[in-house]
């Protein structure tokens, strides 16, 4: 199997993009990635589109074929990949396998979602289409509801506190405010949350014990990467290639209730172990990580299951600043889903794009992890049902 590298990345500002179609969003980031890879008029062999909701939200199918034509990349092969909010990383994984197989040399992976256009749907109901259609959703359980119950269990079992959750929100909104691609640009302060006379209004309970600031926004957006065999990367692209040193993917039960210990995110542990094993690296080798903080609790729980901290220690570490820039393991220097936003099909690709920016040392010093060489991403599907992880390495 050949080593696969990323030679081009592209992203557009996430947020509300009423004026653009889903295809527009996908095309914009794709063009940036193709340009970043220095491909010029050269085509690609295959295109993967990551998307969760085009059928439901835009009443559109066959989006991958449409994108290939829109980008004048005919007759490239084209498929769309759906794996809920982990669609982005799944699409990159399939692009990686396509190149590793030896059948394809140049692959574009574009992830996108236009979620604010939820005609006849509430965003929460749209996202709940990934829950169990008989035993979860009909009883009113949604993703925020699951996250709330999960947080309560974590508090009871590990002594997690509201202050630890807030520490994640503060960090990620602070970083997001520095990220030109982020949806949420507002800096929040501890005082603003606790002492503000309007705190109850500013930061109301959303799914007890989670409040509004514990949740990611509903965003439109897209991100794209260009992949090629590492051995060809230096002949093609003008930028330092980033190697996908390892990937992992694992599934867990469809419903939370079937798990022996619902606070044990088995698929997160397993997908991460696979990625580290394939990369022949370990969690302590990672210089910078992007985790899937759709809810603040997830960043904390994932930071433990990935192996950055011991079980039950992630909240304390976040509160002590150990996940901030310049500290032990900087997490979500992009602002994460919490601030960059979470257009579901785009997220897994955006995480990889942000790590590529870090490993190419292209970010302003307020967000750049100095001399970052090893990066990690974790994209979370369902409520931990389907996890995809990558270990990324600067290729020199």
d(C-alpha 67, C-alpha 110), whole Å: 9
Distance of closest approach, residue 329 Cβ to its own copies, in angstroms: 25
Distance of closest approach, residue 118 Cβ to its own copies, in angstroms: 13
The label of the residue with tokens 């619902």 reads 262
Tokens of residue 321, six digits? 């600043």
* Contact characters 255-284, its own copies, x per CB under 8 A: ---x-------xx--x--------------
- The nearer residue to its own copies, 1 or 186, going by C-beta atoms, is 1
Distance of closest approach, residue 131 Cβ to its own copies, in angstroms: 8
Contact flag: residue 81 with its own copies (CB under 8 A): yes
Distance of closest approach, residue 35 Cβ to its own copies, in angstroms: 21
* DSSP annotation of 328: S
**Closest CA relative to residue 270, chosen from 384, 376, 355:** 384
- Say if CB 382 and CB 130 are below 8 A apart: yes
- The nearer residue to its own copies, 8 or 381, going by C-beta atoms, is 381
Out of 386, 389, 393, 395, point to the residue binding its own copies (CB under 8 A).
386
Which residues have CB under 8 Å from 124's CB, separation 6+? 142, 143, 144
Name the CA radius of gyration of the chain, rounded. Answer: 19
Q: For the segment 231-260, give every residue that binds its own copies (CB under 8 A).
A: 249-254, 258
**CA atoms within 13 A of residue 109's CA, in its CB half-sphere:** 33
Q: Which range, of 100-108, 161-169, 226-234, 313-321, touches its own copies by CB under 8 A? A: 100-108
Q: Reduce the secondary structure of 150-171 to three states and give it as a string.
A: HHHHHHHHHCCCHHHHHHHHHH
Distance of closest approach, residue 77 Cβ to its own copies, in angstroms: 4
Number of residues this chain uses to bind its own copies (CB under 8 A)? 61
Distance of closest approach, residue 130 Cβ to its own copies, in angstroms: 4
- The nearer residue to its own copies, 315 or 382, going by C-beta atoms, is 382
Out of 115, 130, 168, 216, point to the residue binding its own copies (CB under 8 A).
130
Q: How far apart are the first and last CA of the chain?
A: 20
Helix axes 63-70, 22-36, angle to 10 degrees: 50
Q: Which range, of 124-132, 222-230, 356-364, 365-373, touches its own copies by CB under 8 A? A: 124-132
204 CB neighbour count, 10 Å cutoff: 10
d(C-alpha 182, C-alpha 177), whole Å: 7
- The nearer residue to its own copies, 19 or 396, going by C-beta atoms, is 19
Q: For the segment 199-228, give every residue that binds its own copies (CB under 8 A).
A: none
Distance of closest approach, residue 270 Cβ to its own copies, in angstroms: 5
Angle at 353 between CA 119 and CA 6, to 5 degrees: 125
**Closest CA relative to residue 256, chosen from 347, 142, 164, 348:** 142
Contact flag: residue 90 with its own copies (CB under 8 A): yes
49 CB neighbour count, 10 Å cutoff: 31
Distance of closest approach, residue 94 Cβ to its own copies, in angstroms: 6
Tokens of residue 207, six digits? 């799914």
Distance of closest approach, residue 245 Cβ to its own copies, in angstroms: 14
- Say if CB 247 and CB 97 are below 8 A apart: no
Contact flag: residue 142 with its own copies (CB under 8 A): no
Q: For the segment 8-37, give every residue that binds its own copies (CB under 8 A).
A: 21
Rounded to the nearest 10 degrees, how much is the dihedral formed by the CA atoms of 199, 204, 209, 213? -80
Contact flag: residue 346 with its own copies (CB under 8 A): no
- The nearer residue to its own copies, 3 or 285, going by C-beta atoms, is 3
Q: For the segment 40-79, give every residue that binds its own copies (CB under 8 A).
A: 46, 52-56, 58-66, 68-70, 73-79
Interacting residues toward its own copies by CB under 8 A? 1, 21, 46, 52-56, 58-66, 68-70, 73-84, 90, 93-94, 96-98, 100-104, 129-130, 132-133, 249-254, 258, 266-267, 270, 381-382, 385-386
């Amino acid at each position: 199997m050949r080593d696969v590298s990323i030679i081009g990345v592209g992203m557009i500002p996430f947020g509300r993009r009423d004026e653009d179609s889903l295809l527009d969003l996908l095309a914009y980031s794709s063009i940036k990635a193709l340009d970043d890879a220095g491909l010029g008029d050269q085509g690609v062999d295959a295109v993967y589109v990551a998307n969760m909701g085009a059928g439901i939200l835009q009443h559109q199918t066959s989006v991958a074929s449409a994108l290939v034509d829109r980008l004048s990349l005919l007759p490239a092969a084209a498929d769309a990949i759906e794996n809920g909010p982990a669609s982005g990383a799944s699409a990159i994984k399939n692009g990686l396998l396509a190149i590793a197989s030896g059948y394809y040399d140049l692959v574009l992976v574009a992830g996108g979602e236009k979620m604010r256009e939820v005609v006849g749907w509430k965003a929460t109901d749209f996202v709940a289409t990934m829950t169990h259609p008989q035993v979860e959703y009909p009883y009113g359980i949604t993703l925020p509801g699951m996250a709330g119950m999960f947080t309560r269990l974590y508090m009871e079992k590990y002594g997690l506190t509201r202050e630890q959750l807030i520490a994640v929100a503060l960090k990620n909104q602070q970083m997001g405010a520095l990220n030109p691609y982020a949806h949420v640009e507002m800096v929040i302060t501890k005082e603003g949350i606790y002492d503000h006379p309007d705190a109850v209004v500013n930061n109301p309970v959303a799914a007890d014990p989670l409040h509004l600031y514990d949740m990611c926004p509903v965003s439109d957006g897209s991100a794209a990467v260009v992949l090629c065999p590492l051995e060809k990367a230096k002949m093609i692209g003008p930028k330092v290639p980033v190697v996908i040193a390892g990937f992992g993917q694992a599934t867990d039960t469809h419903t939370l209730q079937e798990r022996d210990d619902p606070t044990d995110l088995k698929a997160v542990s397993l997908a991460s172990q696979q990625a580290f094993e394939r990369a022949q690296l370990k969690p302590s080798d990672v210089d910078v990580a992007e985790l899937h903080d759709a809810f603040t609790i997830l960043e904390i729980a994932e930071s433990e299951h990935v192996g950055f901290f011991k079980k039950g220690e992630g909240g304390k570490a976040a509160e002590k600043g150990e996940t901030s820039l310049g500290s032990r393991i900087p997490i979500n220097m992009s602002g994460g889903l919490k601030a960059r936003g979470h257009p579901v099909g785009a997220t897994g690709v955006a995480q990889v794009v942000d790590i590529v920016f870090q490993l190419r040392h292209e970010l302003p010093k307020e967000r750049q992890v100095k001399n970052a060489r090893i990066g990690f991403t974790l994209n979370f599907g369902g409520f931990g049902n389907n996890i995809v992880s990558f270990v990324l390495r600067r290729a020199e």
